[in-house]
Structure 1
Amino acid sequence: MNPQAGPLCTRDSLAAELGALGLRPGETLLVHSSLSSLGWVCGGAATVVTALLDVLGDAGTLVVPTHSGDNSDPAHWENPPVPEAWWADIRASMPPFDARTTPTRGMGAVPESVRTWPGALRSGHPQTSFAALGPRAATITDGHAPDCRLGERSPLARLEEAGARILLLGAGFDCCTAFHLAEYRVPAPRVDNSFALMTAQGRCWTTVRDTSVSSDDFDALGADFEKDRPVVRGAVGGAEVRLFGLGDAVAYAEGWLPGNRASAARA
């Protein structure tokens, strides 16, 4: 039998390392995470959540992405695709988004743990919801519009207003959802976006117009961002960690995206 990959991480060790990194009691923190990158965590994802809450304290607010991108038009599915003959039936029977019960998809174990945590609140977008714990949770999650995945009427804008910071806990800049807020502030195409949701009339398959978003170049954007702006780097357990201001990241992306995406399009 192969031994478990280390290092060993406990609630106390994680809290101590997060505090040493510079997390502050009372702050608002958006976390993107990879549980497996930390090592062997005694207690799993719940231990990571508890350690984060220990450091943030009662006055702090923890926020995570709880996206559910499978509630979408099957015509656009690629990993894996489904037969075209199924599309109409999928659109007719896709369960509507329920903030209480719809699971996350592709977000990892830590966001799923926060989603089900006692007292957690979740925003209402069928695809790009966020969950939050703490005194600012309602302010951050309220009012997430169906036609605004990650823009001004999403939790990202409320996090910016709150002066939040971002913790990439074993995750790369390709996961940095805050960069998407900048996409809404620069010239970008509009696209159709479809999903199932509950309305006053019951379940409905609906299509809205929204800004086109893509994270394909976020690694390059992040690499330039941390060269030019203050980013705290360190380690928590076995994970590489970055900590930086959300507003700073959005402002940098607003300047970076127009020129760099235009250059890539011309290449």
Structure 2
Amino acid sequence: MPTPPPTGPLVTRDTLRAELRALGVKPGEILLVHSSLSSLGWVCGGAVAVVQGLLDALGPDGTLVVPTHSTHLTDPATWRNPPVPEEWWERIRAAMPAYDPLITRSLGVGVVPETVRTWPGALRSAHPHTSFAALGPRAADIVDAHAQDCRLGERSPLARLEERGARVLLLGTGYDTCTSFHLAEYRTPAPLVGVGRPAPGGGWETVTEVSVSSDRFDELGHDFERDRPVVRGEVGAADVRLFPVRDAVAYAERWLALHRPRAEEILHPPA
């Protein structure tokens, strides 16, 4: 059967820039972008055009930040989509390459972040599982000093983004992708977990981290949008939301304290 014609709208670098500016993206600001390329429509130039449009909207003084997580460098015992046979686990742990910010690909965050990661001049943070990449004059300021035992907390780029007045752009994605909410988890009593990964010098290591989960983030986002100012609009065919990192974190701190069980209740549930 013949391939059906593409459905619109037609999205270009120029239309992206214009619509992002109309939404309220400001030249010179720091923007943390969570994105879905497929949500935009038919994009002439694909992910490259999306990155170009974002950079055009931010201008030469703006900084673009994206998540470049690498969850494939985790313990195979935790893999669920898909799982692997238990008899493979030790061999996978022994053979898994260690994280390298220059060559380790991102996974599960979309093609736009992977395009930013490989963009000339991009910088990437050091955490093996939850790195961020950035382009622009504030890139090093955002991604440097990402502690290897702090996925998304005070010693991660999220805290730097909060301090520097960055905003979040959900470009065709839902609140389940909003990494800023995870910073609030670090400020809300949460259990600690052992997280396995390949060690930089070879072998396998387990580090202690705060347990993080995007469970109920859609519900949290619904309430946040109801109670706080969130810019809403469309870019191409994508639903878009724009809001300060600081507002999202502050709201999530209060919401999680009310709506999630405390760490001691998780570890020691009532009889």
Which one-letter code corresponds to 2:7 in the other structure?
Answer: A
* Superposed displacement of residue 38, structure 1: 0.2
| Distance in 2 of aligned mates of 1:247 and 1:53 | 22
RMSD of aligned Cα (Å): 1.4
**141-150 or 31-40: which moved more?**
141-150
Match in the other structure for 2:223: 224
* Superposed displacement of residue 197, structure 1: 3.8
- Give runs of ≥4 in structure 1 deviating > 4 Å: 263-266
Which one-letter code corresponds to 1:73 in the other structure?
Answer: D
Match in the other structure for 1:33: 35
| Distance in 2 of aligned mates of 1:250 and 1:20 | 25
Give unpaired runs (5+ residues) of structure 1: none
* Superposed displacement of residue 203, structure 1: 2.4
| Distance in 2 of aligned mates of 1:250 and 1:233 | 19
* Superposed displacement of residue 83, structure 1: 0.9
**1:34–1:116: structure 2 CA closer, same or farther, 3 Å change rule?**
same
| Distance in 2 of aligned mates of 1:236 and 1:214 | 28
Match in the other structure for 2:242: 243
Which one-letter code corresponds to 2:247 in the other structure?
Answer: D
* Superposed displacement of residue 261, structure 1: 1.1
| Deviations 1:4-53 (CA, angstroms, capped at 9, x unpaired) | 12110011111000000000000000000000000000000010000010
Match in the other structure for 2:198: 196
Match in the other structure for 1:8: 10
Q: 1:62-73 counterparts in 2 under 5 A?
A: 62-73=64-75
Normalised TM-score (structure 1): 0.96
Which one-letter code corresponds to 1:114 in the other structure?
Answer: V
Match in the other structure for 1:47: 49
| Distance in 2 of aligned mates of 1:243 and 1:192 | 34
| Deviations 1:140-174 (CA, angstroms, capped at 9, x unpaired) | 11111111100001100010111000000000000
Equivalent of 1:116 in 118, 121, 124:
118
SS of equivalent to 2:239: strand
| Distance in 2 of aligned mates of 1:9 and 1:50 | 12
* Superposed displacement of residue 204, structure 1: 3.7
Q: Is the 8 A contact 1:114 1:131 kept in 2?
A: yes
Equivalent of 1:87 in 77, 86, 89:
89
Normalised TM-score (structure 2): 0.95
Percent identity between matched residues is 68
| Deviations 1:58-112 (CA, angstroms, capped at 9, x unpaired) | 1100000000001001111111111111111111110110100000101111000
Q: 1:113-262 counterparts in 2 under 5 A?
A: 113-198=115-200, 202-262=201-261
Match in the other structure for 1:56: 58
| Deviations 1:224-266 (CA, angstroms, capped at 9, x unpaired) | 0000000000000000000000000000000000111139989
| Distance in 1 of aligned mates of 2:111 and 2:169 | 16
| Distance in 1 of aligned mates of 2:42 and 2:233 | 18
| Distance in 1 of aligned mates of 2:125 and 2:203 | 19
Give unpaired runs (5+ residues) of structure 2: none
| Distance in 1 of aligned mates of 2:135 and 2:202 | 28
Q: Is the 8 A contact 1:126 1:197 kept in 2?
A: no
